[in-house]
Structure 1
Amino acid sequence: MGRKINIFNDRQTMNTGEYEVFHYKDARPGGIMLHNHDFYEIYLLLGGEVEYQIENITYPLSRGDMLLVSPMELHRPITRREGAVYERIVLWVDRRHLRILKQIHGLDFEHCLDPGRARHSNLMHLGRENLSLLLGLMNLMLREEEDKQYGSELMRSSFLLQVLILVVRLSQGQPRLSESLTSDSLVDQVFDYINRNITQDLSLDRLSGLMYMNSGTLSRRFKKQLGTSIPEYVRHKRLTMARNMLLEGERPTAVALKCGYADYSSFFRAFKARYRSSPREFVKTLDRSADVVHVS
């Protein structure tokens, strides 16, 4: 009897505190909005005509391509042919679980899986042998989850460890790829400036002045490449950074200043509008829902 395929839904949150794995095969018309998670995502494409946007880069994908997405990175799939079969395996791993694995095994998976810190590309092209190895391990994880036999959880955990080790090995030595279909060098400059100066004045007027460009033109070019407006991108980045600081135990008043807000009341309003709770309420509940950027 064949293993069942998961039915896709728009859930972008984890139901467990450690890891989850899914195998999807469906016809997706697109429409998944830019979002990020509190966890790491390992994405393996098995079929379909798909591009994948991660921050300011859109990657063309083919079967056997693997993507690593870290918690801070905005991302979304873009399916190019409506009704075409889109097949992929997606593995979510909570960063706190990675820290536990580091304590147990002495392996810093969190650092190695983060493209920004480990300085490798989000995208890796897997050869036939490595694809077979990774796909085999992920299928074993899925089978153990479905069968739920004696020791299944321990078996799944052992397969997860093998997946993580293999993925890190594959990522080591990978160059940064620039295979973007929609790269605009000026937008890339603005993107880099925003991320280097997230606590500074990032108003549209200031950015357009720095780029010697009309604000309307800059806005259109930025939204065309990233799928969201400059103010919404800045707002999202600041709030994501603030949320991570709160999760790490920093005080809300200190977080407001570190994330570029002029005063606590401005931070309070922005945070509550996004997460439907005040910063202090969030600290109490440790809400772990995903952020979704609505393109406006």
Structure 2
Amino acid sequence: MQDSLCHGPFHCRAKIDTSATRSSGHIWVFSTAGAMETLQNDQRIWPNVWLRSIFTEEGETGWRTCGKQKAPETYGHAINQLSVMSLFLVNLYNQDAELRKQEIENRSLTENVTEYINQHYADSLTIDQLAEQFFVSKYHLMHEFSQKTGTSVYRYLMQQRLHAVCDLLERGTVPNEAYLLCGFKDYANFYRAFRSAYGQSPREYARAHRIAAEEPTAPDA
């Protein structure tokens, strides 16, 4: 489990991470549905509220409802409840970030970056953003990517955008709309990149594929 909550007066019990309770200024965080029985049978738990929040069972994530005992409606009591829930949610956020980082580390950097670009080529991606996304310096990212793929991150991104534009042109989208849908911000730069890659303008490409699509196919003999 995470150690992110284990600072100052707060302590985390090992192997426990998704439901929370409070006693004498300490936080206990539980990971299994079975841990709820421990919560309900533990005489030390905070008597006013316990949380049955996100739980994981057989790979599925869901929500348990909050169970509450009648509590005095005081401002201090409400603040204490909010403090526990806030710390709990911070812990979940940190766990999610750590899991994502571990997943990234289990695959090669190039695999992760290419997959991310394939899914986000229409966004305003930069080298700095990609480096931050994958917890590396931009110089390491550029070197590693070019070593594994033989091309730069920028050129790979441009290729994916141009392929996406071609797909839209073949389906009838006009060039003035297609380039914007695929992450290009300036038509002049897009036009130059397209002509350099395909030897014709976007309109010529669209026209050629439209004519090809309209040509009748030969009947079967």
Which is richer in strand?
1
Fold match (TM-score > 0.5): no
Which is richer in helix?
2
More RCO (CA 8 Å, sep 6+): 1
* TM-score (ref. length: structure 1): 0.33
* TM-score (ref. length: structure 2): 0.44
